[in-house]
Amino acid sequence: MNKYLEQLVNLSQIDKKIDSYAPRIEGINGELNEKKDEIRSIDEQVETIENEIEELKTQISNTNAHIVEFNNKIKDASKKSGAVKTEKEIKALNLEEDLAKDQLEAANEEISRLERIIDVKHTSEAELKEKKLEIEASLKELENRVSSELEEIEKDRSKVYAQKDSLLGEMNQKVLTFYEKIRKWAKNTAVVPVRKQACYGCFMKINDKTYSNVIKSEDIVTCPHCGRILYKETNEE
């Protein structure tokens, strides 16, 4: 094979490899971020629940203050009962006492209701915290797994970069510029094999003359349809 063509085939394979690392790293980080987001969302939910519980506790203590008030009213009424004389006064006092008793009962019921709500909230809070622990454990597991994967990718990547550097050092500038020009639009398919007499970039059949030139591999041959650089694979898959 023509030396320049051989270098181009190598370079295109190296470039393809280099471009493959970013999505792999992105995919790994995406997985990690997904778990971290889940944990953050649980933290927010727990905080909301805790605020709601605080609010309910305030309501309970307010209601307790009312209970003290109603109890005092009932006590006052029974104190006054010795002093009242007329039927009318007794009736009024009884009415006052009954009202206070009703309010007391309602306040006690309200407290039980609020306490039940707090119980439910505590249960969901506990469930969320348990779920958070599970996600944290799987995040840790994932971090351990991917850290070696990332290390492997980094090692591989620096090796490939070194390969590219030394290859670029050997290459002819004109050939390189030609390649970069095609690569601008063809990305990682700037240099493609010919299989079954077809360009593997645009998948069009190439004519016999071009095909025989590709097989001879004496020159850099481009696809007459798309302009990609063509080569004949040494061992066709």
**Contact set with Zn ion (CB under 5 A):** 199, 201-202, 223, 225-226, 228
The minimum distance between CB 23 and Zn ion, in angstroms, equals 25
Close Cβ partners of 93 (under 8 Å, ≥ 6 residues apart): 77, 80, 81, 84
Nearer to Zn ion, 99 or 226 (CB): 226
Q: Which is nearer to Zn ion, 28 or 199 (CB)?
A: 199
Least distance (Å) between residue 150 CB and Zn ion: 37
Q: Least separation, in Å, of the C-beta of 191 and Zn ion?
A: 11
Residues 6+ apart with CB under 8 A from 12: 179, 183, 188, 190, 191, 229
Which residue number, 49 or 223, has a Cβ lying nearer to Zn ion? Answer: 223
What lies within 8 Å, CB to CB, of 138 at 6+ separation is 35
Q: Degrees (nearest 5) of the Cα angle 123, 124, 125?
A: 90
Q: 77 or 191: whose CB is closer to Zn ion?
A: 191
The helix (run of H) or strand (run of E) holding residue 229 is strand 229-231
- Measure the CA angle with vertex 218, ends 187 and 225; round to 5°: 45
Our CB check for Zn ion shows the closer of 81 and 197 to be: 197
- Tell me how far, at minimum, the Cβ of 207 lies from Zn ion, in Å: 12
The CB-of-199 to Zn ion minimum distance in angstroms stands at 3
Q: Which is nearer to Zn ion, 146 or 221 (CB)?
A: 221
Taken as a whole, the chain contains a residue count of 237
User: Phi/psi class of residue 197: alpha, beta or left (left: φ > 0; alpha: ψ in -120 to 50)?
Assistant: left
Q: Helix (H, G, I), strand (E, B), or coil: what is residue 235?
A: coil
3-state secondary structure of 27: helix
3-state helix, strand, coil split of the chain in percent (to 5) is 80, 5, 15
Give least dist CB 182 to Zn ion, A.
Answer: 11
Q: How far is the CB of 190 from Zn ion (least distance, A)?
A: 11
Cβ nearer to Zn ion, comparing 92 with 202: 202
Q: Render 189-219 in DSSP notation, one character per residue.
A: GSEEEEETTEETTT-PBPPHHHHHHHHHTSS
